[in-house]
Amino acid sequence: MDKNAFNIRIQDALGGETPDFTAALAAIGEQLGDDANGASKSFATATEKAVEHKDLRGALACMAFFAARGAELKRVDLAQMREVVRRCATTADEKLMVDSVGLASATAAAIVRRLTVLLALKPGVYVSSQSWGFGQVQSIDTFYGKAIIDFEGKKGHAMSLAVAGQNLEIADDAHLMTRLLKNREEIVELAQKHPAELVRLTLESYGPLTIQRLQERLISAGLVAQDKWKTFWDAARRGLKADKARPVDIPAKRTEPIRLLEAEEDFGDGWLKKFAKLRDIKAIYDGTLSMLAEKKNELPDSYRDTVANRLNFALKGADKSDYPRYAQVAALLARLGLSTEAERAKQAETLTEKDEQDNFLAAMKGLSARDVAATVRFILAVAPEKKALILAHLPQLNSVALGATLGALTGDEEAGAEVRKLLARQASPVPTLVVWALRNRSDAEAWGAPALNELITQAIHIVEQRLAGESLKMRNALQAFFDSAKWLEGVCKELSDFDRRVVFERIQASTANEWDAASKRNVLVRMARFDPTLAKLRRTERQPQERAHLTSARSLAAYRLAYDHLTNVEIPANAKDIATARSYGDLRENAEYQFAKDHQRVLLGRQDEMDRTLKLLKATDFAGVSCETAEPGTRVTVETAKGRATYTILGELDRDEALNIISSRSRLAAALLGHKPGDKVELPAERGTEPGTLVAVEPLDDAVKAWLAAIPTQHEPNA
């Protein structure tokens, strides 16, 4: 399109009283390939018009365009787009919606998806959720920032807008469940007479589904009886395969999803022409892989120039912005012989340099195990001297990347020496490496890993720590190991009698708050059940005085929000991770699947624990608490050889380091509760205890009262 024609279209779209953002963005999209600078300037004009007219939906359309084509726009970044959206939210409701999407940290695509959902939430709208099923919005509580939804299994469920934006999908009038609610007879007749059409409608409503998920959807909706499923599915499959005009991909593996296809893809000249016009980086990469799979991993000579052109376009677009994709494309170009030696050297340098960030870590954190291995092999083939850099990063890699990297380095002597050195760190073990060594025992032994009793000691040390991020995930994975009766029995069988006693005593001696008392007790009982001689080593635990399960309204509200987030966001996300990992193939060699399943056990265990806690706890404002003795709701001053310190003891969930607020369940609080001013006490120290004196017991101060009054309305991950 020539510049004059383009400028006329932009003027027509944006020059009126009501800007037509759809028309403007369509013109900009067409112009990007011919004149990126001119298109980018017009895009900036569109965002300015959105701000000028305070048009939040116009800003959302611009953000959606940026999410799809941002790599091609000049001098436009995500921070600018976030500011455009923020400035377009003018009403109280719009500001609440924008605040609920995580504007400051979410990606462009996530902002678009979440805000689109929230803006569509109105009373009467039908929605679907992976964890709660299908439901209808009853009301929007803008004061507390919640959507009240009647789900199939729970009426009047209050879901925070932050969770709703991440977890819900809007169901239109064509959705299976909407049609089922409005005209059940029609859908029941469809199930009985046209099984293939019901399956097609289900896939159109929910997207790709495995056979198991499809079965669950239709049975839970009451459209297919459990004992009639096989007959239903056989008829549906025959009907779907017979309809050549509307193809459906039905994979051989039950773990892979069934997909509706636009048309049969032949990967011939027509496909090549469409592929040559692709500008979306993911579509280019995925399209190349799909074509190679169809061509049995052989690239026809007539395809080489076009594929090389598009992959290099994708590589350029991913540079400095998407290092996982950059690594995938660089390795693929090398594998297909479409890059020169000089180009590969430059790409390897880009993947291993440190500028504003550590590029290697940035790439590794976003790749599957298969892609990590391919990237490591690519770097080492091009730049063998980078091996030292890769080995230096081993402690920082996530579990998936670590396992795949070690797989790619199998047999390398330098790598073996580094692994042995890291696994020998008793005082500061590497959580990811310890989990890998315990999960892959034969591989770990080949690398010269320490004996099992040493690894178990390291695992106990990690479980006792307060960790964050990837290390916390590994701590939880190790906790899941100890909680598994089967795993623990296998460990006990391998350990000698002496080592079993040492491990038993080590666990029994652990006083860390991070190791749940009930879990630790179960481990000891199971070990004693396997080896009855260990029962003689059990020490009687001093039972603390039973107190009411109280906490502040602030902390209880935060805990409920965290429970809601766990149930509605983390567990469904983990289910997606498991489904994705299954698609990678052999589950015995599938690190992503094993980690996702381990994480699932941790999440479900945490959900069960939080559910029990919520049933026991009661909120209190600590009003009228006596200051005769140290109790929850008092401010205490203690004196030790190090000097004086003041703490505020509140409820079981309450803690704030800045204000020295401690939980009534903490070791320090336990040492003080019930004591009067002047009493001598034994206070917890880094090693054992230290003597001290309770100097004063006072009422709560104003800062703590203000803290108690600040009731949260949305989940904060690190709260």
Q: Last residue of a domain, which of 493, 509, 540?
A: 540
What pLDDT is stored for residue 590 in this prediction? Answer: 57
HEC string of 565-578 equals HHHHHHHHHHHHHH
In a domain, 105, yes or no: no
Between CA 335 and CA 317 the distance in angstroms is 20
111 assigned to some structural domain: no
Q: Does residue 237 sit within a domain?
A: yes
Asked if 422 and 395 count as a contact pair (C-beta separation under 8 A), the reply is yes
Single residue among 237, 260, 283 that ends a domain in this structure: 260
pLDDT for residue 543: 47
Instruction: Name residues whose C-beta falls within 8 Å of residue 230's C-beta, 6 or more positions apart in sequence.
Output: none
At 392 the pLDDT is 93
Q: Residue 508: inside a domain, yes or no?
A: yes
SS3 state of residue 134? strand
Q: Return d(Cα 514, Cα 463) in angstroms, integer.
A: 7
Residue 548: predicted pLDDT: 57
Partner residues linked to 169 by β-bridges: 128
The DSSP output letter for 432 is H
Neighbours of 537 (CB within 10 A): 14
Half-sphere exposure of 264 (CA within 13 A, CB side): 6
Q: Which of 173, 181, 215 is nearest to 198 (CA)?
A: 215
Are 645 and 584 within one domain? yes
Q: Give the domain-ending residue among 382, 409, 436.
A: 409
Determine, yes or no, domain membership for 644: yes
pLDDT along the chain (719 residues), means of 10: 84 89 91 86 93 93 91 87 92 88 85 92 86 83 84 81 86 85 88 93 86 86 88 92 84 78 73 88 87 86 94 90 91 95 94 82 85 93 94 90 91 90 83 91 85 90 82 86 89 92 88 73 91 84 56 89 85 80 58 72 80 83 88 93 91 88 88 91 78 92 88 68
- The residues pairing with 551 across neighbouring beta strands, listed in sequence order, are 619
> Do 515 and 564 fall into the same domain?
no
CB of 488 within 8 A of CB of 539?
no
- Rounded CA separation 240/210 (Å): 15
Q: In this structure, are 532 and 427 located in the same domain?
A: yes
Looking at residue 1, its pLDDT comes to 67
Q: Are residues 20 and 64 in the same domain?
A: yes
Q: Are residues 384 and 442 in the same domain?
A: no
Same domain as 501, residue 572 = no
User: Are both 360 and 467 inside the same structural domain?
Assistant: no
Q: What is the CATH number of the domain that holds 598?
A: 3.10.50.30
Buried b (16+ CB within 10 A) or exposed e, 655-679: eeeebbbbbbbbbbbebbbebebee
Instruction: Give the helix, strand, coil percentages of the chain, each rounded to 5.
Output: 60, 10, 30
| Paired tokens of 362 | 């940035």
Please give the pLDDT value at position 546. Answer: 44
Residues 494 and 626 in one domain: no
Number of domains in the chain: 5
Instruction: Flag whether 714 is in a domain.
Output: yes
Is 436 exposed, middle or buried (CB count within 10 Å of its CB: 0-12, 13-18, 19+)? buried
The two structure tokens encoding residue 556: 């209880």
| 150 membership: H or E segment, kind and range | strand 146-151
Q: Are residues 246 and 298 in the same domain?
A: no
In a shared domain, residues 383 and 424: no
Burial class (CB in 10 A: 0-12, 13-18, 19+), 385: exposed
User: Nearest 10 degrees: CA dihedral of 122, 128, 131, 136?
Assistant: 50
Residues 321, 385: one domain?
yes
- Measured CA to CA, the distance from residue 403 to residue 616 in angstroms comes to 41
What is the predicted pLDDT for the residue at 475? 87
- Each as own residue / partner, the long-range contacts of residues 143-149 (CB below 8 Å, 24 or more positions apart, any chain) are 144/713, 145/96, 145/100, 145/713, 145/714, 147/121
Per this entry, what is the length of the chain?
719
Neighbour tally for 125: CB within 10 Å:
20
Q: What is the pLDDT of residue 584?
A: 59
Query: CB of 195 within 8 A of CB of 236?
Result: yes
Does 569 lie in the same domain as 698? yes
Is the residue at 117 inside a domain?
no
- The CA distances from residue 182 to 126, 185, 458, in Å, are 11, 9, 59
The reply to whether 405 falls in a domain is yes
The residue range of the domain holding 611 is: 542-719
For 688-709, give the DSSP string. SEEEEEEEEEE---HHHHHHHH
